Structure 1
């Protein structure tokens, strides 16, 4: 008969996998109506993309969604690790509980054979997963006070930015509907009510960016599987991606976020996550790709404007900029594009 060794630790219940813990918390938030993408906000009052307090880089994909949910205090989007806080003379308060996040490494740089000093970026056969524990700024002492980046962008300028990005997408948009908005994959066109049919210009943009999210699924763009029966689970999966992407884009652009009728999908999303906890990670990954695809012209233009201020330098244009049609300019200033 086997006996336990003296002094050996009693084994406790197995630790719940990370993806299951995250999915459970997301389900709780969906049931309570507090998940970030089902909470509306007004233009100019976006909660802010979670960013690293030391590097200033925004968190992406599931980490963006997860930290947006776990933020203990509104108004400050900063997070960092214990060591990062120490590196600037700050200190995580004793007893504070950190939040676990994951990073996936799919590529790495390696020395190029036969090329002195040359390096190439190669895809890993198996992605590597790294975890980190981060703390919110409100859990850290001696961290510099948070200063929001730039001043509040006035409403007319947010509208101009949104209009420019919509044109830059190259999407075919027909304002031919009375009370519904949708993307038609077979004709590759977005159908919308006219802007005046919406309660506000902000709601119009929120709806259109949601439909642009679906539009990116076309085989000539991000090539997602988007043809499914209405209100089926696969249909709800695509709705989740479009709504997460809409939230990400709204936060980055300072637009209003209004989930509207997408509350109707909450039950399907909960069922979906209970059946497959990994789905929220896949959806967040795809939503980040959608947001990147739509917003990339803005980021590229910001980079070009920054280089222009710093002096002449070679600017590498991304594929997104190459596909971008130049909006018709009404003035010499507009011909340069909006200042984001």
Structure 2
């Protein structure tokens, strides 16, 4: 597996710190990685295995802005007689290696590592037959409805007047006005997806501690649970192909920057929990989950 050459000033940083710095850099530029529209390029996917990337790797690749989100490792590229264009730089993806035993024979915690991938436009010699076109959804709101209808163990949906859009974890229901009350269908499904994301944390589903804390102490815009819900919402919006416009204010950006600078593990935890929520909503089984690309 090819290893990326890390810049000298990053040589002593661990992988968590290197990756967290990439998200910090985007936020400093006013861009919110988990509010990116990447539907036109498709779900970030391995060119060879055709498996979609998952977790934090999805965000790392989706925010790069390529027209087609197909990626390949150097080893895979060599196997199909392709090559990397001169001066092209790789993109880092993360994975957890196998736990290593120490001298006493006890297993240690698996260490986060990384490997390299390149987008197909960074390469030459890739057979055209391997590059499948992106199939754009002709009826995105129909896809939204199919996502909702396919959820196993769905919370109740209520339309209580004079009550905000919310998920109530105590009674396990979502309150949301009817679709006609929203400016457009996209706004309705974005609001619904966000609350559905919260509902996956219910103790009868994924039993997510962040949801428990939200229900006990209230929820602001800068909690782990809110970031999980935002990542899930953005993923579902892109899967369906509905617009997800978002204009972040300075407080929003600064709040996340403060958290990420203090805790380099925060974004990893959020992406891990968000992927589990996505798997629950989309009913993704273990055999559909990706592995490290060689």
User: TM-score if structure 2 supplies the norm length?
Assistant: 0.79
2:223 partner SS: helix
- CA RMSD in angstroms comes to 2.9
Deviation for aligned residue 1:198 = 1.2
Deviation for aligned residue 1:261 = 7.9
Aligned counterparts of 2:174 and 2:254: Cα–Cα separation in 1:
26
Matched, 1:266 2:253: yes
Counterpart among 18, 43, 63 of residue 21 in structure 1: 18
Contact map agreement 1:46 1:255 (CA 8 A) in 2: no
Matched, 1:238 2:225: yes
Equivalent residue number for residue 53 of structure 1: 47
Matched, 1:147 2:132: yes
Matched, 1:81 2:78: no
Equivalent residue number for residue 100 of structure 1: 92
State which drifts further: 56-65 or 186-195. 186-195
C-alpha spacing 1:277/1:164, structure 2 compared with 1 (3 Å) = same
Counterpart among 246, 250, 257 of residue 244 in structure 2: 257
Aligned counterparts of 2:153 and 2:243: Cα–Cα separation in 1:
20
Equivalent residue number for residue 170 of structure 1: 154
C-alpha spacing 1:163/1:99, structure 2 compared with 1 (3 Å) = closer
C-alpha spacing 1:189/1:265, structure 2 compared with 1 (3 Å) = farther
Counterpart among 272, 281, 289 of residue 276 in structure 2: 289
Deviation for aligned residue 1:213 = 0.6
Equivalent residue number for residue 146 of structure 2: 161
C-alpha spacing 1:156/1:62, structure 2 compared with 1 (3 Å) = closer
C-alpha spacing 1:172/1:266, structure 2 compared with 1 (3 Å) = farther
Equivalent residue number for residue 188 of structure 2: 204
C-alpha spacing 1:255/1:161, structure 2 compared with 1 (3 Å) = farther
Counterpart among 98, 119, 123 of residue 136 in structure 1: 119
Contact map agreement 2:94 2:112 (CA 8 A) in 1: yes
Equivalent residue number for residue 205 of structure 2: 221
State which drifts further: 83-92 or 245-254. 245-254
User: TM-score if structure 1 supplies the norm length?
Assistant: 0.69
Identify unmatched segments of 5+ residues in structure 2: 1-7, 100-106, 288-294
Equivalent residue number for residue 35 of structure 2: 38
Aligned counterparts of 1:49 and 1:149: Cα–Cα separation in 2:
9
State the aligned residue count: 265
Higher relative contact order (CA 8 A, sep 6+): 2
1:127 partner SS: coil
Aligned counterparts of 1:140 and 1:132: Cα–Cα separation in 2:
17
C-alpha spacing 1:104/1:253, structure 2 compared with 1 (3 Å) = farther
Contact map agreement 2:37 2:238 (CA 8 A) in 1: no
C-alpha spacing 1:188/1:277, structure 2 compared with 1 (3 Å) = same
Residues 14-71 of structure 1, C-alpha deviations (whole Å, 9 max, x = no match) = 5322221221221222233323322357xxx4542111111111110011111122x2
C-alpha spacing 1:275/1:177, structure 2 compared with 1 (3 Å) = farther
Aligned counterparts of 2:98 and 2:279: Cα–Cα separation in 1:
18
Contact map agreement 1:29 1:35 (CA 8 A) in 2: yes
1:28 partner SS: helix
Aligned counterparts of 1:150 and 1:38: Cα–Cα separation in 2:
22
Larger radius of gyration: 1
Aligned counterparts of 1:131 and 1:273: Cα–Cα separation in 2:
20
